[in-house]
């Protein structure tokens, strides 16, 4: 639905939207992705840490997927979905080496799945489109955490309705801890703060709306939410704050930086710590990517975390497909006196380079809604890989607009972008990479250690409209690296 700037202003007057000049209100008919100015000041809500119980050595979390109402615009409750609440979900947290089980009760009136994005786990527990949980029933994926400390996330993956369910609010973080972690800010909600950033396409009634066919990127929002709130502000009481940023948008690229262009440190990528902090003034995230950043603050200052116009390569004109725009995301308000924070360590972890000698090579071409000229077929096995094998995948984008590429069940290393070394902030473990128009990326990974001839893992574009429209393929992991080219009926159920 299209909304004029005037209608939008009327709709959002209650939240203190600042009016542009009268003449611009009268003369411009705003594109729906135009973000109106929002007054900042609402407290950034911190998703609660999920409670868990330990049952026979397994840490068990209980989640209910449920419908609800959420007010992006005060007084205008929007239909929403959440885990254990009406919007977003609690933060799951477990240690490397722990056995975990997630008991999900589906209290929605439709089927769903629960996928653990970035997790190394068996395909049958991965919560992809084959692991459907009917309305009213439950699922209990379980596995042993076997990867470094990281900021991962969980969300539904029902084929064809992922965008709607994720965007209505079924999104939460999954933090992995590891003993021996370097000295970084780590007090949850105080100096170690999760920030789930989403652009929301709100109509004049404050309802979430979708736009799968409006432009090639699908839904681009007109408002920016941090942990579900527009105009969010975080009071900071320490000299350094660590922000765990997740781009949980449907199709929007964010290019995060501070309003005064100060340098900050990227300390982690999707799958864990970088080898060393990477000093930058911008970190760009496509949908589903994460970055952990550490920002230094001065007593009493206010500084805006902003998304600057993203770098979208040869996208033409540069303001197409969500380019060319700045958005304010989260204001950081430093207290008049700040508790000292320890200096950042100069090295964070060791990231062993993957030895790609003799690796199995595959190629994936992204075009339109296709990967290698196919759209998703739930019965077709696109690739069969050998358990724990080292592989190198080429990923090419031959479209005129951006895609990204996500592989389930693994963390990979980005070897190069058009033959050049990736920027420092992308040299750690990744599970999702942006693939700009005409770009060719090369990624290396060790395939999952869990052989299973019936349950495939997915790889796909994480622009959710593209994913729902079939920009996805399936790979099986077997002992030998050979296997069926289609799934049996047995494999179709879980
Ligand atoms: Cu974030 Cu296939 O998922
Ligand atoms: Cu995933
Ligand atoms: Cu795409």
Task: Give the rounded percent of residues in the chain with a pLDDT score beyond 90.
Answer: 89
Same domain flag for 299 and 206: yes
Residue ranges with CB less than 5 Å from ion ligand 3: 403, 461, 463, 466
pLDDT of residue 489: 59
Same domain flag for 222 and 308: yes
The CB of 407 under 6 Å from ligand 1? The reply is no
Same domain flag for 460 and 333: no
Same domain flag for 139 and 110: yes
The mean per-residue pLDDT over the stretch 363-368 comes to: 98
Same domain flag for 198 and 167: no
Same domain flag for 200 and 332: yes
Tell me the pLDDT tens digit for each residue of 468-484.
999 999 999 999 999 99
Strands 232-238 and 327-339 turn out to be: parallel
The CATH number linked to 263 is: 2.60.40.420
Atom of ligand 1 nearest to the CA of 288: 1
Same domain flag for 327 and 462: no
Atom of ligand 1 nearest to the CA of 155: 1
Same domain flag for 370 and 281: no
Burial of 360 (0-12, 13-18, 19+ CB in 10 A): middle
The CB of 466 under 6 Å from ligand 1? The reply is no
- Closest-CA residue to 248 (of 296, 198, 175): 198
Q: pLDDT at residue 28 above 80? A: no
The CB of 458 under 6 Å from ligand 1? The reply is yes
CA 477 to centroid of ligand 1, rounded, Å: 18
Q: pLDDT at residue 14 above 50? A: no
- The full 3-state SS of 353-401, as one line of letters, equals CCCCCCCEEEEEEEECCEECCECCCCCECCEEEECCCEEEEEEEECCCC
Residue 30 to residue 24: CA distance in whole angstroms? 10
Q: Residue 215 is encoded by which pair of tokens? A: 């432009």
Please, what is the average pLDDT of the chain? 92
Q: Per-residue confidence at 20, pLDDT binned at 50, 70, 90?
A: very low
Residue with CA nearest ligand 1 atom 3: 117
The CB of 455 under 6 Å from ligand 1? The reply is no
Instruction: Tell me, yes or no, if the pTM score tops 0.85.
Output: yes
The CB of 460 under 6 Å from ligand 1? The reply is yes
Residue 254 to residue 286: CA distance in whole angstroms? 6
pLDDT of residue 37: 74
Number of folded domains that form the chain: 3
Structural domain span for residue 84:
5-12+44-177
The CB of 117 under 6 Å from ligand 1? The reply is yes
Task: Select from 177, 202, 232 the last residue of a domain.
Answer: 177
Q: Per-residue confidence at 3, pLDDT binned at 50, 70, 90?
A: very low
Angle at 437 between CA 436 and CA 441, to 5 degrees: 55
Same domain flag for 196 and 326: yes
Q: pLDDT at residue 56 above 80? A: yes
Q: Per-residue confidence at 490, pLDDT binned at 50, 70, 90?
A: low
**Tokens 């596995």 belong to which residue?**
143
Q: Per-residue confidence at 15, pLDDT binned at 50, 70, 90?
A: very low
Q: Residue 486 is encoded by which pair of tokens? A: 């289609």
Same domain flag for 204 and 333: yes
CA 403 to centroid of ligand 3, rounded, Å: 4
**Does residue 186 lie within any of the structural domains?**
no
CA 461 to centroid of ligand 1, rounded, Å: 9
Give yes or no for a contact between 73 and 14, defined as CB atoms under 8 angstroms apart.
yes
**Does residue 29 lie within any of the structural domains?**
no
**Does residue 162 lie within any of the structural domains?**
yes
The CB of 240 under 6 Å from ligand 1? The reply is no
Q: pLDDT at residue 213 above 90? A: no
The mean per-residue pLDDT over the stretch 392-399 comes to: 98
The CB of 331 under 6 Å from ligand 1? The reply is no
Q: pLDDT at residue 346 above 80? A: yes
Give yes or no for a contact between 28 and 44, defined as CB atoms under 8 angstroms apart.
no
The mean per-residue pLDDT over the stretch 27-48 comes to: 74
Tell me which of 20-24, 301-305, 379-383, 401-405 is least confident.
20-24
Q: Which listed ligand is nearest to 397 at the C-alpha?
A: 3
The CB of 288 under 6 Å from ligand 1? The reply is yes
Residue with CA nearest ligand 1 atom 1: 117
Distance of CA 303 to the CA centre of its chain: 24
């Amino acid at each position: 639905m299209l909304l004029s700037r005037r209608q939008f202003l009327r709709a959002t007057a209650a939240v203190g939207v600042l009016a542009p000049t009268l003449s611009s209100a009268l003369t411009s008919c705003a594109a729906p992705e135009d973000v109106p100015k929002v007054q900042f000041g609402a407290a950034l809500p911190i998703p609660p840490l999920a409670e868990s119980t330990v049952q026979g050595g397994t840490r068990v979390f209980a989640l209910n997927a449920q419908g609800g109402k959420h007010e992006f615009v005060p007084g205008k409750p929007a239909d929403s979905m959440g885990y254990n609440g009406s919007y977003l979900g609690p933060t799951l947290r477990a240690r490397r080496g722990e056995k975990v089980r997630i008991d999900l009760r589906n209290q929605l009136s439709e089927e769903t799945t629960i996928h653990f994005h970035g997790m190394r786990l068996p395909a049958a527990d991965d919560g992809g489109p084959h692991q459907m949980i009917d309305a009213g029933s439950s699922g209990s994926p379980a596995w042993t955490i076997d990867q470094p400390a990281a900021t991962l996330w969980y969300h539904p993956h029902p084929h064809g309705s992922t965008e709607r369910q994720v965007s209505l609010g079924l999104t939460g973080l999954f933090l992995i801890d590891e003993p021996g972690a370097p000295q970084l800010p780590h007090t949850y909600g105080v100096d170690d703060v999760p920030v789930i950033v989403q652009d929301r396409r709100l109509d004049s009634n404050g309802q979430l709306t979708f736009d799968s066919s409006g432009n090639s990127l699908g839904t681009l929002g007109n408002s920016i939410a941090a942990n579900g709130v527009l105009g969010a502000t975080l009071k900071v009481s320490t000299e350094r704050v660590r922000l765990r940023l997740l781009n949980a948008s449907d199709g929007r690229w964010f290019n995060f930086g501070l309003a005064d262009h100060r340098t900050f440190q990227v300390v982690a990528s999707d799958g864990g710590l970088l080898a060393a902090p990477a000093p930058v003034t911008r970190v760009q995230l496509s949908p589903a990517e994460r970055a952990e950043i550490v920002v230094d603050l001065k007593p009493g200052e206010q500084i805006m975390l902003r998304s600057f116009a993203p770098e979208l390569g040869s996208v033409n004109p540069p303001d197409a497909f969500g380019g060319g725009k700045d958005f304010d995301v989260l204001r950081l308000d430093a207290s008049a006196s700040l508790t000292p924070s320890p200096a950042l360590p100069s090295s964070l972890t060791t990231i062993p380079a993957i030895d790609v000698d003799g690796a199995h090579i595959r190629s994936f071409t992204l075009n339109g809604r296709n990967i290698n000229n196919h759209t998703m077929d739930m019965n077709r096995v696109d690739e069969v890989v050998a358990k724990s094998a080292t592989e190198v995948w080429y990923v090419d984008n031959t479209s005129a607009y951006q895609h990204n590429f996500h592989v389930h069940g693994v963390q990979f290393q980005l070897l190069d972008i058009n033959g050049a070394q990736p920027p420092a902030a992308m040299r750690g473990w990744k599970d999702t990479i942006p693939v700009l128009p005409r770009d060719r990326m090369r990624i290396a990974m060790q395939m999952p250690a869990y052989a299973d001839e019936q349950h495939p893992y997915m790889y796909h574009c994480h622009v959710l409209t593209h994913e729902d429209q079939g920009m996805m393929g399936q790979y099986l992991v077997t002992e030998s690296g050979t296997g069926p080219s289609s799934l049996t009926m047995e494999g179709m159920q879980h």
